[in-house]
Structure 1
């Protein structure tokens, strides 16, 4: 596994990080700040009154289960890469990508369930926030699927293995972040409805 390295600078040893990993962590911090800002705005807007109580789509439970399973699948791909099991890496990455597509389809179905309840993007702010939260999450998940496909292609080109872990480490970190973010949003919405 490629970890941060100690680089001697004079008499001091300085920790270094792969520049792509550093950029990804900055991106994750930015995404976190966006969602923290949105959840804060949700709480402030809810306190103003005129808030619609929404029965959350049952599909949210299914998509939550799907994202948890996809996170396990992604972790398995990482473990397989550490042990040079290239077939396992490919199968796990493909499974993760398919689960991601199922999650996205489930979110669209959730929006259909909201529409059936007369909860629309425009109207009561409670509905608007749900669409913004889930829509932004789906947008980031689509980016994750693109990253998964790139790593999967590289796995077929024998570029993902124990001596070349940066891509799969970054992909796993991003994927676990997305899973944690969804669970945070789902619990936040349940607790603050």
Structure 2
């Protein structure tokens, strides 16, 4: 009986693994980046063609930018609180983040009303159309972020978010920070090329 093992016995290769939910989040983020990259490119091309209405962006969009930035700080505080099992701070921070996200959306709507008062409409000159599309698409994605945040908020109040169960907070925090960075990009793009 021959019990010798073959000389070329292969060891199984290690596979790269990633949390499937985090992978889906990153695919979603990449698709959003591609969407806005194509839209900002189209904006620049159309602007170069001429017949471009110039207008001053209402100041409320600057205030809403500060509100969204603050919401990101509170989101980070919520994440750190979850890592340290500080449930009281977690609940406070995630609640404030949610309220600030809602305030951002309300301010965006008020900004749209100011644009209409300035006779900048969705239909008409493309400069106004692009502004409404950019802010509307971002607002839609922010609503999806608020739903993710609401889900994490409920989990926090049910004590399902803690130092040993951070995946949900990591996903929520990553997406919320992405939405903040995306808005900063869009806002400064519009300020620069309006």
Partner of 2:24: 23
How far apart are the structure 2 equivalents of 1:98 and 1:165? 22
Q: Could you say which structure has the larger radius of gyration? A: 2
How far apart are the structure 1 equivalents of 2:16 and 2:63? 42
Deviation above 2 Å: which 4+ runs of structure 1? 9-15
1:23-68: CA deviation from partner (whole Å, max 9, x where unpaired): 0100000011000000000000001100011100101110100010
Q: Measured at CA, do residues 131 and 13 of structure 1 come closer, stay the same or move farther in structure 2, by a change above 3 Å?
A: same
Q: 5 Å matches for 1:130-145? A: 130-145=131-146
Q: 5 Å matches for 1:112-127? A: 112-127=113-128
Q: 5 Å matches for 1:39-188? A: 39-188=40-189
Deviation at 1:10, TM superposition (A): 3.7
Partner of 1:5: none
Q: Secondary structure at the match of 2:163?
A: coil
How far apart are the structure 1 equivalents of 2:13 and 2:96? 45
Q: Secondary structure at the match of 1:15?
A: coil
Deviation at 1:12, TM superposition (A): 3.9
Q: Measured at CA, do residues 111 and 83 of structure 1 come closer, stay the same or move farther in structure 2, by a change above 3 Å?
A: same
Q: Secondary structure at the match of 2:15?
A: strand
Partner of 1:35: 36
Q: Secondary structure at the match of 1:16?
A: coil
TM-score (norm 1): 0.93
Give unpaired runs (5+ residues) of structure 1. Answer: 1-8
Q: Measured at CA, do residues 54 and 152 of structure 1 come closer, stay the same or move farther in structure 2, by a change above 3 Å?
A: same
Partner of 1:190: 191
Give unpaired runs (5+ residues) of structure 2. Answer: 1-9
Deviation at 1:17, TM superposition (A): 1.1
TM-score (norm 2): 0.93
